[in-house]
């Protein structure tokens, strides 16, 4: 089974606790096996809405669900955790995004895989580089190469000790 990577973020309430709660819900979710989790990162908000900084991470899972079913499961978990859909790129209690689903390409009104914004988002690149540094995107660049180009101050590591199952190997971010 090839890995699936999920981005998790929050910037309302106790954002770190929200992210950890989402990880625990994924761990307990039927048809999902939580494999590894990157450290927690702080990040500046993405998009035009003024708001508090985010707490983010990326988890690696295996699952017996297809992309649409996994998306529905993630949206259900968001709703259970109190997510209210408001302004695009606005503040949120929890956000769960499928970043990469094995080697699948998927394009629909609800879901595009791999996630089209990976290469532009420091809050995805840095934690994803912990888990899959050599993964290449369709543009040919590896996650590690892209993470090395992240502008300082867009995302920063918060928690060196938070690992769910196992510890990813140290990542050298120089290409």
Out of 72, 95, 121, 157, pick the active-site residue. 95
Out of 25, 36, 73, 92, pick the active-site residue. 92
129 touches 173 (CB < 8 A):
yes
Name the packing angle between helices 15-28 and 67-80 (round to 10°): 130
Out of 25, 83, 121, 159, pick the active-site residue. 83
Whether residue 88 lies in the annotated active site: no
CA gap 27, 5 in Å, rounded: 14
State residue 36 phi and psi, 5-degree precision.
-150, 160
58 touches 124 (CB < 8 A):
yes
CA gap 23, 55 in Å, rounded: 13
Out of 36, 73, 97, 121, pick the active-site residue. 97
Residue 47 CA from chain centroid, whole number:
17
Whether residue 27 lies in the annotated active site: no
Residues marked active site are found at 83, 92, 95, 97
């Amino acid at each position: 089974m090839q890995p699936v990577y999920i981005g998790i973020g929050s910037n309302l309430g106790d954002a770190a606790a929200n992210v950890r709660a989402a990880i625990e819900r994924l761990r307990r979710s039927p048809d999902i096996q939580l494999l590894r989790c990157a450290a927690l990162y702080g990040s500046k908000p993405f998009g035009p809405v003024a708001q508090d900084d985010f707490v983010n991470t990326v988890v690696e899972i295996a699952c017996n669900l297809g992309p649409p079913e996994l998306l529905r499961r993630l949206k259900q978990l968001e709703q259970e955790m109190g997510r209210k859909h408001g302004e695009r790129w606005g503040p949120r209690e929890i956000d769960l995004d499928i970043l990469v689903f094995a080697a699948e390409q998927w394009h629909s009104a609800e879901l595009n895989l791999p996630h089209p914004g990976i290469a532009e988002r420091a809050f995805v690149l840095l934690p994803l580089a912990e888990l899959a540094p050599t993964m290449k995107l369709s543009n040919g660049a590896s996650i590690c190469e892209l993470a090395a180009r992240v502008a300082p101050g867009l995302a920063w590591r918060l928690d060196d000790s938070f690992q769910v199952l196992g510890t990813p190997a140290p990542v050298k971010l120089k290409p």
